[in-house]
Amino acid sequence: MNFYDFHVHSEFSEGESSIEEIAKRAKLLNYKGICFTTYLDDKSKIKKTKEIVSKLSKKIEVDIFIGFEARNTSELDKLIRLRRDYDVLLVKGSDLILNRKAVETKEVNILTHPEYNRKDSGFNHVMAELAAENNVAIEVNFREILNSSKNTRANIMHKIKNNVELCKKYNVPVVICSGAVTHWQLRDPKVLISMGCLLGLELNEAKKAMSEVPENIIKMVKERQDEKWIRPGVKVV
């Protein structure tokens, strides 16, 4: 089974480790591919990251993707306009308006940690229906659990469990990511699958969240990057 981690930060965004260090560690932990997530500060970043990634991908034999994480609605609008230039579009959850906009937008692939820094879970049945309709995956972020402890960890896990339950009910794709900011925070896929099981997913669902769901995202992205693709359902033949 091929496993993917679609939310890893390198030194290009908030991370501490270099792309090479992370890619090597991912290879050691038997990942088929990883997605480096960064923020849109300037457009030249896309080109620069692409060049480094294409060299490394061949050298280390790990599929490397470039993802952009939108932190607010204006950034999301900008990223939608540049959608063909990168691979994965993630939206940083926490703000309710942004969470809602993310699940309403077909171009978005992943809504990361909707419960982040919130008292509630940041995700409800209306959003779940929209996410299922627009095929937006909801992320279970391991770093949130790793970096917290005691009552904070218990609260975070409770909120994630609620979101997972809603996702299961409304057939929303779930994706489990490490959210690592250093290569030391990358975890073995089996660890993330086990955590998924503790958060309410069945074993096959947790495995799917690390393999099938990311594979579907890649497939969709490649289809969209094709020159013949115009919009969902419309293609030059």
Partner 1 sequence: MKQKKMKILQPTLREKQRYIALQVISEESEELNYSDLEAAVWNTMLDFLGEEGVSKTSVWLMKDCWDQKRQKGILRCNNKSVQEVIASLGLIDRLGDNRITFKILRISGTIKSIREKL
Can you give the binding site for partner 1, defined by CB under 8 A? Answer: 25, 28-29, 142, 145-146, 149-150, 184-188, 190-195, 197-198, 203
Say which residue the tokens 């900011």 belong to.
Answer: 181
Q: Which amino acid is at 72?
A: N
CB of 118 to partner 1, least distance (A): 22
Q: Which residues are bridge partners to 36 per DSSP?
A: 8, 66
Q: Which residues are bridge partners to 229 per DSSP?
A: 235
Report the residue number, 184 or 235, with the smaller CB distance to partner 1. Answer: 184
Report the residue number, 52 or 197, with the smaller CB distance to partner 1. Answer: 197
CB of 35 to partner 1, least distance (A): 19
Report the residue number, 159 or 187, with the smaller CB distance to partner 1. Answer: 187
Diameter of the chain measured on Cα atoms? 57
CB of 199 to partner 1, least distance (A): 9
Report the residue number, 12 or 31, with the smaller CB distance to partner 1. Answer: 31
| Burial (CB count within 10 angstroms: exposed 0-12, middle 13-18, buried 19+), residue 81 | exposed
Helix (H) or strand (E) holding 67: strand 63-70
CB of 194 to partner 1, least distance (A): 4
CB of 177 to partner 1, least distance (A): 13
Report the residue number, 7 or 101, with the smaller CB distance to partner 1. Answer: 7
Interacting residues of 225 by C-beta distance below 8 A, sequence separation 6+: 84, 87
Report the residue number, 103 or 186, with the smaller CB distance to partner 1. Answer: 186
Going by DSSP bridges, is the β-strand pair 4-9/234-235 parallel, antiparallel, or unpaired? unpaired
Backbone CA torsion sign across 86, 131, 119, 198: negative
Interacting residues of 154 by C-beta distance below 8 A, sequence separation 6+: none
CB of 59 to partner 1, least distance (A): 20
Cβ atoms within 10 Å of 34's Cβ, excluding its own: 31
